[in-house]
Amino acid sequence: MVKLFADAGWKTIESDAVVRGILSDSEVVQAALRAHWGEVVFLSTGEVDRKAIAAIVFRDDAELIWLETLLHPLVRAEWLNQFAAEPDHDWLVEIPLLFEKRLETEFDLTVCVISSPDVVEARMVCRGYTGAEVEQRRLRQMPLQEKAQRADRVISNTGSLEFLKRQTHRLIEEIQA
């Protein structure tokens, strides 16, 4: 859906991509990771091992809170910097934990993209996650139906790509009307 908004001329931010960038580029964050967890969260190349971090934080609430306390302010600062640099554009910000972190009041409109649990799992497995990793992530998130109830708009991503495109284009037209 992010690509569809970008194709329509919107500026977009994918929060997960921002996190990946911070983990790979921020020496301050890398130093904090080393101080907290040591070399176990780094690959032999010196890059941050996101899978190793996930293995730690998805089994220990305190570790997840520590990591979120480190990263979330930096992610938010990145959004704000991008907004400030181009304030006249329409923006779409993809935030997987929007409702869990109570960020919905920061935005004019919230959209929840829903898929059936089996479709979500199949897509995540195709991206390299194991069934156990999918379940760990699911347990850390608000149930999708609750997110859908809280959102201003809901788009279904269970059907075809064409169906997703039609819904997204209708939403964009409605917003811009």
Residue 49: its pLDDT value, please?
97
Q: In which band, very low, low, confident or very high, does the pLDDT at 36 lie, cut at 50, 70 and 90? A: very high
Residue 9's alpha-carbon distances to 79, 169, 171, 172, in angstroms, are 18, 12, 14, 10
Tens digits of residue pLDDT in 149-165: 999 999 999 888 899 99
Residue 23: its pLDDT value, please?
98
Residue 162 lies in domain: 95-177
Residue where a domain terminates, one of 89, 116, 135: 89
Residue 78's alpha-carbon distances to 45, 71, 84, in angstroms, are 26, 11, 10
Question: Above pLDDT 70, what percent of the chain?
Answer: 100
Tens digits of residue pLDDT in 97-112: 999 999 999 999 999 9
Establish if 3 belongs to a structural domain.
no
Q: Within this chain, do residues 85 and 157 fall inside the same structural domain, yes or no?
A: no
Q: What is the reported pTM?
A: 0.89
Q: What is the DSSP secondary structure assignment for residue 55, as one 8-state letter?
A: H
Establish if 68 belongs to a structural domain.
yes
Q: Within this chain, do residues 81 and 117 fall inside the same structural domain, yes or no?
A: no
Establish if 112 belongs to a structural domain.
yes
Establish if 7 belongs to a structural domain.
no
Residue where a domain terminates, one of 89, 112, 127: 89
Establish if 52 belongs to a structural domain.
yes
Residue range 41-58: mean pLDDT, rounded? 95
CA gap 4, 144 in Å, rounded: 22
Angle at 21 between CA 115 and CA 58, to 5 degrees: 55
Residue where a domain terminates, one of 68, 89, 110: 89
Q: Residue length, the chain?
A: 177
- The three-state (H, E, C) secondary structure of 96-124, written as one string: CCCCCCCCHHHCCCCEEEECCHHHHHHHH
Residue 69: its pLDDT value, please?
97
Residue 164: its pLDDT value, please?
92
Establish if 1 belongs to a structural domain.
no
Tens digits of residue pLDDT in 161-177: 899 999 999 999 999 88
How many domains, in total, are found in the chain? 2
CA gap 96, 93 in Å, rounded: 10
Average pLDDT, the chain: 93
Question: Above pLDDT 90, what percent of the chain?
Answer: 77
Paired with 93 in beta bridges are 13
pLDDT at residue 122 tops 90: no
Looking up residue 72, the CATH number of its domain turns out to be 3.40.50.300
Tens digits of residue pLDDT in 75-98: 999 999 999 999 999 999 999 999
